[in-house]
């Protein structure tokens, strides 16, 4: 298959909106702190009154003054409790406010289409918010999570995440970070359990699960799949850990490559890594060039800014781009088998809600369209074009593959 086939599809990068939203916080931070007022019992033993009738007038004065003092003590204690409550609430509000600001900066960083490593200004802002949280509420889960997250998967900070997970295991961002931690530490049992929980709670949706199943199916045996964000990475991992699908494929996350420990682990697996610790477009290009013998497949959810510099060596294979000097000889038959026989194609039929990942199937369909045009195969050409029209919202089809 001539290499120019794919170049004719290069305009895809100008309009395809790959079906993976910016990676960031999917949930709003919520405080789980519980507040209660502890009231101390009043000691009345020192408040006994002298009822000696010889000093009745003084007794009455003493009685009045004693009750006055007791009331004053109660009022002072109540005011103190109210002040403590108000202070706690102020601290909680401030914690939520600062944590929300931290989350926003980190979300913006994750939305960067040119690099995974935060910009210097973003990193400085996150570090500043972490210091504020440390001063306001050093024992909160928000501080523990922020401290770990601002380290960009540096496992030296893992004790903080362990604390955050103990304090608030239901928080979605805590769960995401916890999975990455256990995966990098090689704790397969905890990784599988955490991924299963995320699936049960629909953090990893059925749509993501079935789509990433097709992504794994796109890869050849004993190959390497490079992912970019939350959905393609965690969905593929879920299929491997929970369904034992394509365990021969090594999943490498560009996001996780920020971690020095993760990069060291990859070197132990035989990968050659660029010297830079900045994970960006250039890093991906260097990584692919250094590891071209590893059967590299890049998820199509990787932003096109990363893919364009590599376009001369990228060939569409299912829901991936294979990095190679020339297309594999069996690529045409592989594409046909993937589309007509092996893919789930969830959300691509009339009876299902249209998948948000539908557009990601377009590169392989355009490949097959060009193939059938050259061959003059009008029957299969019509089926492919109907599928393309459905994905593009032009018409409805009733059967998958038609």
User: What is the DSSP track for 177-207?
Assistant: HHHHHHHHTT-HHHHHHHHHHHHHTTSS-HH
Q: Quick check: is 309 in a domain?
A: no
Q: Report the C-alpha gap between 73 and 97 in whole angstroms.
A: 35
| pLDDT confidence of residue 92 | 74
What order of strands is seen across the sheet that includes strand 224-227?
Answer: 250-253, 224-227, 296-299, 320-323, 314-317
Range 363-379 average pLDDT = 95
Instruction: Identify the three-state secondary structure at position 59.
Output: helix
Residue at which a domain ends, from 168, 196, 224: 196
Q: Report the C-alpha gap between 97 and 93 in whole angstroms.
A: 6
Q: Quick check: is 146 in a domain?
A: yes
| pLDDT confidence of residue 32 | 41
Q: Quick check: is 142 in a domain?
A: yes
Range 38-62 average pLDDT = 34
Range 142-147 average pLDDT = 97
Q: Report the C-alpha gap between 41 and 251 in whole angstroms.
A: 61
Give every CB contact of residue 327 below 8 A, 6+ residues apart in sequence: 1, 2, 3, 5, 6, 315
Q: Count the domains in the chain.
A: 2
Question: pLDDT class for 56, splitting at 50, 70, 90?
Answer: very low
Residue at which a domain ends, from 175, 196, 217: 196
264 or 59, which is more confident: 264
Residue at which a domain ends, from 196, 222, 252: 196
- Which of 154-168, 207-221, 343-357 is predicted least confidently? 343-357
User: Is the pLDDT score of 63 beyond 90?
Assistant: no
Highest mean pLDDT among 9-13, 18-22, 389-393: 389-393
CA 240 vs CA 209, 344, 371: distances in Å: 11, 16, 32
Closest of 347, 334, 365 to residue 219, by C-alpha? 334
Instruction: Identify the three-state secondary structure at position 255.
Output: coil
Residue pair 209/239 in contact by the 8 Å Cβ criterion: yes
Residue pair 246/240 in contact by the 8 Å Cβ criterion: yes
Instruction: Find the radius of gyration of the CA atoms of the chain.
Output: 30
Q: Quick check: is 250 in a domain?
A: no
Q: Report the C-alpha gap between 162 and 180 in whole angstroms.
A: 12
Q: Report the C-alpha gap between 269 and 186 in whole angstroms.
A: 13
- Which sign does the torsion angle of CA 168, 24, 195, 280 carry? negative
Q: Quick check: is 169 in a domain?
A: yes
pTM: 0.78
30 or 318, which is more confident: 318
Residue 154: domain span: 94-196
Q: Quick check: is 201 in a domain?
A: no
- 277-287 pLDDT, tens per residue? 999 999 999 99
Q: Quick check: is 216 in a domain?
A: no
310 or 397, which is more confident: 310
Range 24-53 average pLDDT = 36
Q: Quick check: is 11 in a domain?
A: no
User: Is the pLDDT score of 60 beyond 70?
Assistant: no
- 321-368 pLDDT, tens per residue? 999 999 999 999 999 999 999 999 998 876 678 899 999 999 999 999
């Amino acid at each position: 298959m001539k290499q120019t086939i794919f170049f004719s599809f290069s305009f895809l990068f100008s309009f395809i909106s790959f079906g993976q939203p910016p990676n960031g916080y999917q949930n709003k931070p919520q405080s789980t702190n519980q507040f209660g007022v502890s009231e101390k019992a009043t000691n009345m033993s020192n408040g006994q009154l002298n009822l000696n009738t010889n000093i009745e007038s003084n007794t009455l004065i003493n009685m009045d003054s004693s009750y006055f003092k007791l009331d004053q003590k109660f009022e002072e204690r109540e005011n103190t409790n109210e002040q403590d409550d108000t202070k706690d609430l102020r601290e909680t509000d401030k914690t939520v406010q600062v944590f929300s600001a931290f989350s926003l900066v980190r979300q913006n960083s994750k939305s960067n289409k040119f690099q995974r490593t935060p910009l210097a200004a973003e990193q400085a802002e996150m570090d500043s918010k972490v210091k504020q949280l440390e001063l306001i509420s050093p024992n909160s889960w928000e501080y523990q999570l922020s401290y770990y997250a601002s380290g960009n998967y540096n496992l030296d900070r893992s004790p903080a995440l362990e604390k955050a997970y103990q304090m608030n295991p239901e928080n979605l961002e805590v769960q995401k970070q916890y999975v990455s931690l256990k995966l990098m530490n090689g704790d397969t049992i905890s990784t599988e359990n955490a991924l299963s929980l995320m699936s049960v709670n629909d953090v990893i949706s059925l749509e993501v699960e079935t789509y990433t199943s097709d992504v794994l199916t796109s890869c050849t045996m004993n190959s390497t799949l490079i992912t970019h964000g939350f959905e393609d990475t965690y969905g593929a991992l879920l299929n491997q850990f929970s369904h034992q699908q394509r365990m021969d494929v090594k999943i490498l996350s560009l996001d996780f490559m920020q971690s020095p420990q993760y990069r060291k682990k990859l070197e132990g697996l035989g990968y050659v890594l660029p010297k830079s610790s900045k994970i960006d477009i250039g890093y991906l290009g260097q990584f692919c060039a250094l590891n071209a013998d590893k059967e590299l497949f890049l998820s199509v959810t990787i932003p096109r800014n990363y893919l364009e510099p590599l376009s001369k060596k990228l060939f569409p294979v299912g829901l991936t781009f294979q990095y190679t000097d020339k297309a594999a000889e069996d690529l045409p038959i592989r594409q046909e088998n993937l589309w007509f026989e092996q893919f789930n194609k969830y959300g691509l039929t009339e009876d299902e809600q249209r998948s948000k990942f539908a557009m990601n199937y377009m590169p392989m369909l355009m490949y097959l369209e060009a193939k059938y045009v050259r061959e003059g195969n009008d029957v299969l050409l019509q089926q492919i074009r109907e599928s393309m029209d459905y994905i593009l919202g032009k018409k409805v089809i009733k059967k998958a593959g038609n």
